[in-house]
Amino acid sequence: MHKLWSKYPEVNKELKEVKQIIEKNAKCRDKVVEGSILELLNSGGKMLRPAFVILSSKFGNYEEKKARALASVVEMFHMATLVHDDIIDEATLRRGKETVQSKYGKNYAVYIGDYLFCVCFKVLAGVGSLDSVQIDTMTMSRICMSEIDQLNSRFDKNVSVKKYLKRASGKTAELFSLSLFLGASESGCSRKLSRAFWEIGHNIGMAFQIIDDILDYTGSDESIGKNSANDLKQGIYTLPLIIALENKPSELVNILEKSDYTEDDVVEIIKLVNKYDGVNKAREIAKKYTNKAYKQIKALPENEYREILLEITKGLLDRIY
């Protein structure tokens, strides 16, 4: 398990059980599919989303078998989206290791992602309510549509901050919201409390995505564990660049007119995004979502799991970016 959880032995134990569920459900006759899923599962991911399911479940009537199964569903869902994202982005690195599509080819990667989606619903059908199946389906739809929106806005110099935030909400925050909501709702928490968890997940996810996008303009492949500036090279304009473009500075616009960016272009774009305050203003927006998340977590019923959730969130969002 990731070292993050060594401080929380109870959560660590639950996540080990979640991994075993995923390992069991990864078994299939095609050993490339099975092996690639196990490689991704053991590639060093923090397993934040399944941990959020476990933590929010503790606020209700905790049923370990059900909570673990639901946690495995959201992690496999997340894994499937990563595999498909890497195909679209033609990414070669994920968590500091070679991506599925780079190692096995795009065809296999598509099937591996699809297989994971199928397993998600197989497990969910065995433990979740009809409401949870419907919510999961809606979440999958929103994530898919947000990815399509992102694809359609490639190299669009007129993309707005509002459109970016809507995209981030569907692409990243949605699954954080689902994780916390699912655990609370399926453990019998009130509708009001379950909805509060959804909002917490939204704000955590929004801050997380913005911070991740900022790192493209401040980090390196080694520091972030994936190809830095890969979104930019693919024509995906994220918040720091969108903000820097608001006043249409000619030196930045002229470079972006190209349909293909050289390494020198990327270096210059990053320099200009910082010059026109894109990174600093994006940090301010990330901080607003971060502070909302902290406030909402502190308003939850007081117990040890609230404190764990707050500590984990602080560790996730108070990093250097």
Query: How is the chain split into domains, by residue range?
Result: 3-317
Spell out the residues 6+ positions from residue 113 whose beta carbon is closer than 8 angstroms to its own. 80, 81, 83, 84, 87
**Distances from the Cα of 46 to the Cα of 40, 116, 256, 281, angstroms:** 12, 19, 35, 28
Q: Which residues of the chain have pLDDT under 70?
A: 219-228
- pLDDT for the residue numbered 95: 81
Q: Count Cβ atoms below 10 Å from residue 260 Cβ, excluding itself.
A: 7
- pLDDT for the residue numbered 222: 45
> Amino acid letter at 10?
E
- pLDDT for the residue numbered 93: 84
Q: Which helix or strand (DSSP H or E) is residue 243 part of?
A: helix 239-244
- The long-range contacts involving 61-69, CB below 8 angstroms and separated by at least 24 positions, are 61/187, 61/188, 62/187, 63/187, 64/14, 64/17, 65/127, 66/127, 66/186, 66/187, 67/14, 67/183, 67/186, 67/187, 68/14, 68/17, 68/18, 68/21, 69/21, 69/123, 69/124, 69/126, 69/127
Kindly state the percentage of the chain with pLDDT values over 70.
97
- pLDDT for the residue numbered 220: 53
Superfamily of domain 3-317: Farnesyl Diphosphate Synthase (1.10.600.10)
- pLDDT for the residue numbered 224: 38
- pLDDT for the residue numbered 228: 58
- pLDDT for the residue numbered 219: 66
